[in-house]
Amino acid sequence: MPDGLDAAAVRAHLLGERRELVVTVRDCADAVAAGWTDASTTDRGAVVEPLRATLERAGVLAEFPTVLRECVAATGGRLQAEPVAAPPYVVVTSVGPVLRATLDGGRLVVTLRVFALKRGGGGSPARYVRSGESAEEIVAVAVRGR
C-alpha cells in the first residue's frame, strides 16, 4: 500500500457514515435480480444496465462522486481531478459499482460487489448471481501504488 493511503479507513467510512448508501446499493441489486427468470442469468445485459438504471432511480448514482471524495479524504490522499458520476471515476460493472480515483500517492478503487460471475463447467455458460448479503461482504477497497 502506498505510504499514507489507508484502505481500512475507507472501508470504515463506507460501513459507518455511508452504510445506508451501501445498503441501498444492495437493495438495488436485489431488485435487479428479482427481475431474472431464475436465481442467476447468463446475460450481462440483464445485470449492468438494469443496475445502473436502478441506482439512478434510487439517487445513488448521483451521490457516488461525493462518496468518492469522502473516501479519498479518509485515505489522507488528494484527488488529482474532480470526480463525476461517469467513467473513469464511477463505473457500473457486472459485479457492481466501482469508484476510482487517482491520488498523489497511488490509486483508490472501491468496489461494491453485489454480483458475482460463476464460471460454467463442462461447457455450460458462466452465470451472474447475487452476492454479498451484508454491507460488510459488499465493500471491497484497494489502494495501489503507481
**Rounded Cα distance, 39 and 30, in Å:** 11
* CB 141 within 8 Å of CB 10: yes
pTM assigned to the model = 0.92
> What is the pLDDT averaged over residues 66-77?
92
Percent of the chain with pLDDT over 70: 96
Identity at 37, one-letter amino acid code: T
Residue ranges of domains in the chain: 7-144
Asked if residue 88 has a cis previous peptide bond (ω within 30° of 0), the answer is yes
Per-residue pLDDT reduced to its tens digit, 2-31: 445 688 999 999 999 999 999 999 999 999
Identity at 20, one-letter amino acid code: E
